[in-house]
Structure 1
């Protein structure tokens, strides 16, 4: 069989992915995660007197903690299989990535397994997040110093 014939056969046999259905599921689940995050923010503002300017950090920490708990009991994996990027793109996906690597290597021991593999998947996210935050802050500093913008 020639290469072109094989490619045509492969295209004919391979089922078409349901793009619209996948996008809708990702949108709904991602939206629900954001709705829960907004509820957590409002909880902190009402019961702990945080302001809109200060509520971000505890909200992010709480959402990451929730995703780590759900990953530990095996529920976040099912959510991810259903929603795809809808569960991976929000900050909860970061918590899932961190704890998944730790759970996967727990049989190797606490230090060599969990400790050394904890940031295996999420280490690049942390690295590039810190580096990009540095450059954004540097650009902001330069623009404010030159008087182009004021904050």
Structure 2
């Protein structure tokens, strides 16, 4: 099969993107995740916790929920409909870290779980950190 034939076959078999609906679903599901996070924060603020402790505990709770939903194979169902809306919040990062770890745990702690955990999240960490340093440097240059 030539490249042209393969490209034609892929084009015929691929369904058209429903970008408007997909963007709306991503917005609604991502917004729902953030609204749940805000609700959790408000619950923690009603206790005797300081604001910083409540925010930290909210992040930890959302990470736990993301990992739990990933382990129960529910996060992928949500992500199927929510797309990028499930990737942007902290639960998406928790999913990106835990999903490969869960998938490759049978290969052992070192070569499976530990090595594969950063397959998806590694580039995000590298480029996110690099971008933060560059933006911080530009901010520093413009405020000095």
TM-score, length of structure 2 as denominator length: 0.79
Match in the other structure for 2:35: 35
Please give the per-residue CA displacement for 1:90-118, whole angstroms capped at 9, x wherever unaligned: 22111111111111211101221001111
Structure number with the higher helix fraction is 2
Distance 1:132 1:17, change over 3 A: closer
- The CA distance in 1 between the partners of 2:14 and 2:75, in whole Å, is 29
The aligned counterpart of 2:90 is 91
Gaps of 5+ in 2: none
Equivalent runs, 1:104-119 vs 2, <5 Å: 104-119=103-118
Residues 26-65 of structure 1: CA distance to partner in whole angstroms, max 9, x if unpaired?
11111100101111221222224332x6654433332122
Gaps of 5+ in 1: 147-151
Pair 1:61–1:135, CA change in 2 (3 A): farther
Structure 1 distance, partners of 2:10, 2:120, is 33
Is 2:22 the partner of 1:22? yes
1:45-84 equivalent positions in 2, closer than 5 A: 45-51=45-51, 55-84=54-83
The verdict on how the C-alpha distance between 1:131 and 1:18 changes in structure 2, with shifts beyond 3 A counting, is closer
Alignment coverage as a number of residue pairs: 139
Alpha-carbon distance in 2 for matches of 1:65, 1:28: 21
